[in-house]
Amino acid sequence: MTDHQGVPERKAVPVADTEVRRAAPGFSVERMAMFTDAVLAIAITLLVIEIPRPEGEVLERPHDLRRFLWGSRDSFLAYVLAFFLLWGVWRRHNLLCDQLAGLNRAMAAWHAPLLLFVAFLPYPTSLIGHTSGDPLALCVFAAAEALMVFSEAGLKEAAYRSGLLAEGVDPVDVRRSAGASWSVGALFAATAVLAWWVPHVWIAWLFTPVLAAPGGRLVERLRR
């Protein structure tokens, strides 16, 4: 069919039939992923700022520098520990975003506490780096980490219930991943309490990657 000028008319295509569907304003997966990446990148970078720097005469005598670096070993250990914990959050969030076709209000809301504790983590990291073995410092760090991972678990639960998973994504896998996060958060919460009686409770944090999968299966059984 042509119009009165002889130009072929374009057939109207219903919005539902178009291949490209825009997310509702404020609910773009890509924008939320980029913002989360930026916050995590800044938090990871801030971790190294808390490591003490040698100054003055310490730099002039090798023996003093070695003693200074050895005395700062707790700060280096805290840095490495917090780095890999935040790295794990980034990797899991990255995977979740790849599994989503969109966001809803619940998922957007869960990002607020998640990023709140991501941005806060450099502070308790500096506490455990400068006050080795102090139970309060260990408690604050473990509590912050627990709340961060619980927020991650809440985000995954919201994604599981949203109906916005991408095509081919198994909802059971998302729920199992949420269970793993709940179990890891519970471990950190338990160590926040145990820190007052167990000086080296932080060693348990090193095993969270190993305990996440079986913890997720345990949570899955409890759901049933």
Query: Is the pLDDT confidence value at 19 over 60?
Result: no
The percent of residues above 70 in pLDDT, for the chain, comes to 86
pLDDT confidence bin for 20, thresholds 50/70/90: very low
CB 184 within 8 A of CB 215: yes
Q: For position 88, what pLDDT does the model report? A: 94
CB 160 within 8 A of CB 174: yes
CA distance to 37, 95, 220, per residue, from 156 (Å): 17, 11, 14
Query: Is the pLDDT confidence value at 10 over 90?
Result: no
